[in-house]
């Protein structure tokens, strides 16, 4: 089936595909079943903790509330 599909792709288009990877088929049951993972509440707690750390980290910063707001000099400063 894959070979049939690849034969329909034009040469120039196929040349632009750098990665060719075979992946095994995943059963629908595995995708749709109740997965054991972190609950939304657990993830929310992690996010809130990270934001609290950032508030402490940037308490003295004038315009920074996240890493993306930092200047290069601030990135290089060691954090406590």
Q: How far is CA 67 from CA 57, 61, 62, 73, in A?
A: 10, 11, 13, 12
Domain segments of the chain as ranges: 2-76
CA gap 27, 3 in Å, rounded:
22
CA gap 3, 22 in Å, rounded:
12
pLDDT in tens, 11-39: 787 777 777 788 899 888 878 777 677 88
- The percentage of residues in the chain with a pLDDT greater than 70, rounded to a whole number, is 89
Could you give the count of Cα atoms lying within 13 Å of 56 in the half-sphere of its Cβ?
Answer: 7
Of 17, 28, 12, the C-alpha closest to 2 is: 17
pLDDT reported for residue 45: 97
């Amino acid at each position: 089936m894959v070979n049939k599909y690849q034969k329909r792709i034009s040469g120039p288009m196929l040349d632009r595909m750098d990665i060719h990877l075979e992946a095994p088929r995943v059963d629908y049951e595995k995708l749709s079943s109740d997965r054991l993972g972190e609950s939304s509440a657990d993830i929310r707690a992690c996010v809130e903790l990270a934001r609290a750390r950032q508030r402490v980290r940037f308490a003295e910063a004038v315009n920074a509330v996240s890493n993306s707001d930092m200047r290069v000099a601030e990135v290089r400063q060691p954090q406590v």
